[in-house]
Structure formats: structure tokens, C-alpha cells
Amino acid sequence: MAEITLADYTGYIFLEIIKAREMADRHSRQLAEVYAQDPVLRHFSVPRFKVPKMELTIPVLISGARFNQVISFNMPQDKFVAYVMGRLKEVLSVVRSKADDPFIKRVEPAGPPVVIKQAGPAPASGASPLRAEAASIEAICAEFWQQLKTNPDPSQPGEIVRNHWTRLFEQALVERDLMALYKKTNPNNELYRQSLEDVLKVVTTQTVVDSTTIQSLLINPETNVVKNGSSDTSVFTLKAEMLEEGFFIRTVRDEATGQTRPVVEFE
């Protein structure tokens, strides 16, 4: 089935009409030169085709449409940070469960689920190291969320998720001195791969369509298709009225500045 946009179709029809008028004017010019050389015809008016008004009724069959969709990552920042920190806590718990040392398996005290130190100066005197480190992990997660929110192509979050989750995953293990145990119990990096897949799945689920707009209508202009494949309720009729106007372009000189400018005048 032949499909073109409605704009291209109607624009082409109008362009063809303009071309027809151009062809007629060129022929009138040729006649004018012939008339000017004839002692009798030079007194006659040169034939010139002019259509002051033209009405067009064009039936077309709409066969489809092109859409623009706006998608974005819509998970609130607080919920996203809570999810990431919770998922990290689950990772650490799984790694600890593989240890033979009961001290490593001990339950973490109440507070932030994961502690990741941020490189930089030590916290001020009197400040709680645990609270400072908790702010650090939240800052990393906030950066993670911000990049997902401002991603120019939200439908492809894979690289952002992989980069940030790898950073968080490794730092969490290092800060808990569990990296050696993790490598021993996960020689094929299974836990990392599974957790990355889980985080990516959540991000993908929370990436939704915000709005949809029509970019263009697709129509089938073939006469037999419009006639045989449509009814009074499915055919789309274009009605256009074209008014012909003659115009002239001349230049006007400003006596004060000496500059000239073009002026368009209509009949």
C-alpha cells in the first residue's frame, strides 16, 4: 500500500497548480514576443490564463499515523535511593551468609543499610562518622537517580545502571571487607550479575510514556484504493479554496539614509 504524509500530498498538489500557472505564464510571454513583432497582432491583447478562484475537493484514505512519544524515568528520588540501598544490604547479607566466621555473619546494627565512605577530608570533630558515611551513599544514589532522570534516551538506561551499580557494589564489599569472601564464593560474579539485572529491571519498569503526540498522518492517495477501500465514514475529504493574487516587487529608496528596501505590492 502506498503511503505518504498528508502534508506532502497536499503540498505537492498546490505545488503542481503553481507549476501549471508558471507554464501558462511562460507561454504567454512567448506569445507576447510573437505579437510584438507582428504589425497587426501587436495591437491585440496577449492571451493569458488566469483563475481568480479555485476550489479543490480531494478524497484520501488515512492508512496510518506517525507518533512522537515522550518517555522518562518517573521513580521518585527518595524511593529510588531506598531501593538501591536496600538492594545493597541484601547483597551484603548474601555474601556474609557464605562465611565460616560467625563474627562476619553478625547482624548489622540499626541504621543505614550500607556504609560507603566518600573520599575527602575527615568529618568535623563531634560529627557522627556513621551519619557522614550515610550521607555519602545517599549522594551516590542521588547522582545515580539524577543521571537516569536527565538521560537523553530514557529507553536505553543500561550503561547508566551498569556504571553506577558497579561502583556501589564494589565499594560496599570493600568497605565491609567482604571482597575476598565474595570472590571466593562467587567465582563467576553471579551475585553481581543477578543484582545488576534486578536493578535494571526496576529502572526499566519505572520508565514510562509521559505523553504521545501525532507527528504526521499517513494517507493513501491512489484513486482505486480510496474508492474501493473506504466508505462515507472512513474517507477523509480535503476541501481547499485557492485565491489568485498578482504581486509586484519594487524597491523604495530612503531619501534620508540613501538605503533601498524591497516592497511587495498585491493587485
CA–CA gap between residue 170 and residue 116 (Å, rounded): 10
CA–CA gap between residue 186 and residue 180 (Å, rounded): 10
Task: Give the pLDDT score at 101.
Answer: 61
**Every domain of the chain and the residues it spans:** 4-63+219-266, 75-205
Q: What is the pLDDT of residues 123-146, one digit of tens each?
A: 444 443 333 344 476 778 889 999
Counting Cα atoms < 13 Å in the Cβ hemisphere of 105 gives 6
Task: Give the pLDDT score at 2.
Answer: 64
CA–CA gap between residue 138 and residue 198 (Å, rounded): 19
Task: Give the pLDDT score at 56.
Answer: 83
Task: Give the pLDDT score at 238.
Answer: 79
How many Å is the Cα radius of gyration of the chain? 37
Task: Give the pLDDT score at 176.
Answer: 87
**Whole-model pTM over 0.75:** no
Which grid cell is 198? 534486578
Judge whether 236 and 59 are in contact, CB under 8 Å: yes
Which residue stretches of the chain have pLDDT < 70?
1-2, 100-135, 137, 223-227, 229-234, 246-248, 266-267
